[in-house]
Structure 1
Amino acid sequence: MKSNKKGLNTLCTHEGDLKDTKFKGVVSPLYMSTAYAFDDVDIKRYPRYFNTPNQEALCKKLAALEHAEAALIFGSGMAAISTALMAFLQAGDHIVLQQTMYGGTYHFAVTQLNKYGIEYSFTDGWQVEDFEKEIKSNTKVIYMETPSNPLLTITDIAGVAQLAKKKGLVSMIDNTFASPINQNPIDFGVDVVLHSATKYMGGHSDICAGVVAASQEHIDTVFQSAICFGGSLSEYTVWLLERSIKTMAIRVKAQSDNAQKMAEYLVGNEDVGQVYYPGLKTHPDHDLAKSQMKGFGGMLSFELPNMDISLFFKHLKLIKPVMSLAGVESTVILPVTTSHALMSPEDREKQGIKDCLVRFSLGIEEVEDLIEDLEQAIAKVKSLSVPA
């Protein structure tokens, strides 16, 4: 008996397509209008209400990919995260946040939540018991991120989701590093899934967007805040994102394969310190990652102790030292000066983010070319460091 469940590439390519009923073109038509009729229509459409034709079509694709009932698309990952948090929190409430997390989310929590009378606590670690320890009588939300940015820590998704359900809390997860290709948290009981769609969904370093995927009930709650905060996305960017997602499964598979090979190479490089990648059998949570991920992703981090990293970056030829991640080109950053620069040195140290930590986003190039680029840059820095 045939299954009605479609494959990932089929979902990426066809789900939520906007049909060209006039000319029968294979590509979704682009409706640029920001003004739609309100009389004698079934739906009163307005961009800020997330219901223009292109927005609606893309949200169907996103919901299908995350195994959710519904989804909303936002102007950035932080727009999605902040809107979702404020939709479920109000004055007097408390949220438990995972210690290891994206610096932008951390900055939002520590600079904004108290303004609205919302309390927050960061866990000491990322085990289920670390979350449970921080729950208070006024806790409403548990927030996790796995794999985490930038240390690739792995959180037990099902365990935290079950804890939230037992306590009557809303569970949220930043699923950006995994992408819906490698991980579907809703299958493990998570309530709200968040993405920076700028990353693997866009995949070409030319789109800024965010996603919230959840049950229809939870999306309705997020929607009420979203129409007030105004984080909607332009129609052209919505159209570009729908086009980009068609190749997401193929891209992410290639990036994950490259990351696995690169991590294994880095472990054997004498100039490299600790390597952080859940696909390594030496990763402390490798078995957990294997149980909840379909692939280990295209992101890794490694330490370059006793090396001038800015000089190392300058001598890279293929790999680009730029902000952001998950494009088809390989990129590196120094988290202490970029993604986690807004965190205090003490908080970075608490997470384990060292000054010599390099975050590496693997692209789709041949991994042998990337290894050669790393080796020549390291050799160049070492040669310049040798006393005359």
Structure 2
Amino acid sequence: MSQQAHDFETQLIHAGEPRPGILGSVAMPIFQTSTFEDPHEHDYNAIRYTRLSNNPNQLALHDKLAALAGAEAALVSASGMATISNLLLSLLSPGDHLLMQNCVYGGTHTLITHELARFGITHQFIDAGDPASWPQPIPPKTRMIYVESMSNPLLEIPDFEAVVAYARKHGLLSVIDNTFASPYNFQPIPLGFDLEVHSATKYLNGHSDVIAGACMGSARLIETLLHKQNHFGGSLDPHAAFLLLRGLKTLAVRLTHQNATALEVAGYLDGHPALASVNYPGLEHHPRHRMAARHFRGFGGIVSFELKAGSDAARRLIDLLDLILFAPSLGGTESLIVKPATVVQSGLDAAERNAAGVGEGLLRFSTGLESSADLIADLKQALEKI
């Protein structure tokens, strides 16, 4: 595609695609091969080998994701956690310090608190929405501040401008997990974040049939991550890359529907007598609604809510649902529900979950592409029976 600026929806279809198509193909073919012959190339870094993330399927994804994020470069990997692990292990060293949002995905939390700690990398949890509470002066050897655009599972929203300004003031790398928003709803790189990470398994692919991760940012940082990933071996399989490239093309139409459905579902749940709280940034009483409204195209497809009756009621509601499936993950065509205390935050102990605000009666609902009326009816009949 030419360098002429195009709208996001057009970039979803055309960015990164080889033109003219390979042997005239309209869809990107699958290069299901581990290695490529090149008798004229003897530089290791230029060898075409799928583990080195330079298979044509991977390269097309890199170009498309960079264009969608407004970034210089991108890198895909075998899972979201492979991306996050590679990033943290590549850019932090023993003795370094990390500032981390206080309620993040459980896998990220465990990686920080258990695995990085073994390498002498320390951390401090912060309220990402309260810049006045962030450390001043910063702890020695602080190198990075890490947040989520919408936290998993409470949908808390950071003060984005403050995170970027704080990072620049103190010479920190600013990293944001943008999985819940997706580049369709929010683009953090043009706002000033250094790196954007995704579990591409979720909205980017959107069909519950791929495990993948992605990172977007400057060419310099992505080159560093690429070389480390080549050693760690977390490259994405060509067939998975093909499916992710295909899934991306429907991101805009999927998210438009899911944004609207989640807002309707949140509106129905809000104030329900069986619920203690409903978390959705599209609700005007959400504490960060104005921040979300200023930066987001849509408020996302995730709603979390807490039942007053606690854990047993949450379990019973899940069992009573008909259309909505009890399964981990999110962002696919089917609506899913989980109990974060036993799935998303299962690696945290009870005290850590309580500190993060994740109660035993909390449920996380991911809207699919079903009718909003049918989803609300399913929730209604289940809530009436608990």
Q: Paired residue for 2:280?
A: 277
Q: Residues 330-370 of structure 1: CA distance to partner in whole angstroms, max 9, x if unpaired?
A: 11100000010111111111111110001010111111100
- Paired with 2:205 and 2:93, the residues of 1 have a C-alpha distance of 32
The root-mean-square deviation of aligned C-alpha atoms, in Å, is 1.6
SS in 2 for 1:171: strand
Contact 1:124-1:130 at 8 Å conserved across structures: yes
Q: Residues 238-293 of structure 1: CA distance to partner in whole angstroms, max 9, x if unpaired?
A: 00100000001110111011011111111142222200000110001100111121
Q: Paired residue for 1:158?
A: 161
Contact 2:324-2:336 at 8 Å conserved across structures: yes
Inter-CA distance 125–218: structure 2 relative to 1 (3 Å threshold): closer
- Paired with 2:104 and 2:56, the residues of 1 have a C-alpha distance of 34
Q: Paired residue for 2:235?
A: 232
- Paired with 1:108 and 1:174, the residues of 2 have a C-alpha distance of 14
After superposition, where does 1:290-309 map in structure 2 within 5 Å?
A: 290-306=293-309, 308-309=313-314
- Paired with 2:116 and 2:22, the residues of 1 have a C-alpha distance of 49
Inter-CA distance 162–124: structure 2 relative to 1 (3 Å threshold): closer
Name the TM-score, length of structure 1 as normaliser: 0.94
Contact 2:21-2:28 at 8 Å conserved across structures: no
Name the TM-score, length of structure 2 as normaliser: 0.95
Report the alpha carbon displacement of residue 125 of structure 1 after superposing the two structures with TM: 5.3
Aligned match for 1:317, one of 313, 322, 335 = 322
Contact 1:301-1:358 at 8 Å conserved across structures: yes
Contact 2:70-2:187 at 8 Å conserved across structures: yes
- Paired with 2:80 and 2:340, the residues of 1 have a C-alpha distance of 18
1:72 matched to 2:75? The reply is: yes
After superposition, where does 1:100-179 map in structure 2 within 5 Å?
A: 100-124=103-127, 126-133=129-136, 135-179=138-182
Aligned match for 1:267, one of 263, 266, 270 = 270
Residue type of the partner of 1:360? F
After superposition, where does 1:1-388 map in structure 2 within 5 Å?
A: 4-19=4-19, 21=21, 23-41=23-41, 43-124=46-127, 126-133=129-136, 135-306=138-309, 308-381=313-386
Report the alpha carbon displacement of residue 124 of structure 1 after superposing the two structures with TM: 4.6
**Unaligned residue ranges in structure 2 (runs of 5+):** none
Contact 2:128-2:159 at 8 Å conserved across structures: no
% identical aligned pairs = 40
- Paired with 1:144 and 1:21, the residues of 2 have a C-alpha distance of 39
- Paired with 1:337 and 1:305, the residues of 2 have a C-alpha distance of 18
Inter-CA distance 125–189: structure 2 relative to 1 (3 Å threshold): closer
Contact 1:131-1:160 at 8 Å conserved across structures: no
Inter-CA distance 134–366: structure 2 relative to 1 (3 Å threshold): farther
Contact 1:123-1:134 at 8 Å conserved across structures: no
Residue type of the partner of 1:192? L
Q: Residues 293-319 of structure 1: CA distance to partner in whole angstroms, max 9, x if unpaired?
A: 111111110111216222211111101
Runs ≥4 residues deviating over 6 A: none
Report the alpha carbon displacement of residue 25 of structure 1 after superposing the two structures with TM: 2.1
- Paired with 1:22 and 1:100, the residues of 2 have a C-alpha distance of 45
- Paired with 1:22 and 1:143, the residues of 2 have a C-alpha distance of 40
- Paired with 1:136 and 1:105, the residues of 2 have a C-alpha distance of 21
**Unaligned residue ranges in structure 1 (runs of 5+):** 382-388
Report the alpha carbon displacement of residue 32 of structure 1 after superposing the two structures with TM: 0.9
Report the alpha carbon displacement of residue 19 of structure 1 after superposing the two structures with TM: 4.6
Contact 2:280-2:302 at 8 Å conserved across structures: yes
Inter-CA distance 23–163: structure 2 relative to 1 (3 Å threshold): same
